[in-house]
Structure 1
Amino acid sequence: MATEVQWSDLQRDPKSVAALADEGDVRVRRRDGVALLLTREDRVQSAAEGSMAAARALRTVLGHVPPGVAAEALVDEFPWVDILPEEERAQFVADFVRAFQASAELEQWSILAQTVREWQSTAIIHADPVLATRLTGPLEDDLGPVPAPTEI
């Protein structure tokens, strides 16, 4: 849990805000933008090392179990995985593990978040047979000329 301060507090008394950051994360609220998170570099580095260890361990563990078993385990966290066809469940597990490791190595957890969002969207399509048919069936309408990439 981060301590919250206003931008003006940081401007007026940066040493006090730095002291708060020594104790834990500090969320700096701004009127004109998204809040900033002030944290010590050693805590970030430690978290990154822990994330990498977790990613490697998860990759190794999931590599030793059948994809179906891994998918069943992930259903506890992502219940929509049940909606995916069996072969796509295995692909979700593989994509999840790859994105998890990439996120940890790059310290960019948005990679994993995007992978989960994309697979969740796929599950939504599978949950609606009419939508699935429309999106996987052939196109019968002429949608007109496609502009050259430079015209967009």
Structure 2
Amino acid sequence: MRAERFEASAASLRIAARALAIVARRSDSLAEEVLAEELPWVTWLPDTERQACVRELLGHLIAGADTGELLPFGRALASWRSTAVAWSDPQLARELQGPFPGDGPEVPRPLPTDRRKGR
């Protein structure tokens, strides 16, 4: 990709990300609607989670657009998608909210090793 084309793409992404951030600051519900149009699985999230999702994704998108590092945005996107899928199954969502039975089996403390002797 030529540098000129890359710079044009990066500038476009920065402008789009910041424009969406302005929309989000003015109207949370409109930002959610815009994001849900592109990411339909957002509708599976509860209202409070949906707002957190929009804020987090926008934050990562703006930072990524500014720096060119979009991997954190991609990771957050995958994480929120997985969360939405879990919420889409009412039984699974109930189970994941707890209560959880006990703390599990006790695990013995490991024996100390002497690093000088290679153990």
Q: TM-score, normalised by structure 1?
A: 0.62
> What letter is aligned with 2:99?
P
Q: Give the AA of the match of 1:47.
A: S
Bigger relative CO (Cα 8 Å, ≥ 6 apart)? 2
Matched, 1:100 2:61: yes
Length, aligned pairs only: 109
Quote the residue 1:64 is aligned against: 26
Q: Aligned ranges for residues 15-94 of structure 1 at < 5 Å?
A: 39-65=1-27, 67-94=28-55
- Find the partner of 1:140 among 76, 98, 101: 101
Contact kept? 2:23, 2:30, Cα under 8 Å: no
Q: One-letter code of the match for 1:121?
A: S
Alpha carbon RMSD of aligned pairs, Å?
Answer: 2.1
Q: Which has the higher helix share?
A: 2
Cα separation, partners in 2 of 1:136 and 1:70, compared to 1, 3 Å: same
Instruction: Give the share of equivalent positions with the same residue, in percent.
Output: 31
* Structure 1 unaligned blocks of 5 or more: 1-38
Name structure 2 gaps, 5 residues minimum.
Answer: 111-119
Moved over 3 A (4+): none
In the alignment, which of 51, 74, 88 is matched to residue 127 of structure 1?
A: 88
CA gap 1:40/1:116 in 2 versus in 1, 3 angstroms = same
Say whether the 8 Å CA contact 1:75–1:82 is kept in structure 2. Answer: yes
Higher percent of residues as strand: 1
1:58-85 Cα distance to aligned partner (Å, 9 max, x none) = 21122111x2232122221111111111
Report the alpha carbon displacement of residue 101 of structure 1 after superposing the two structures with TM. Answer: 0.2
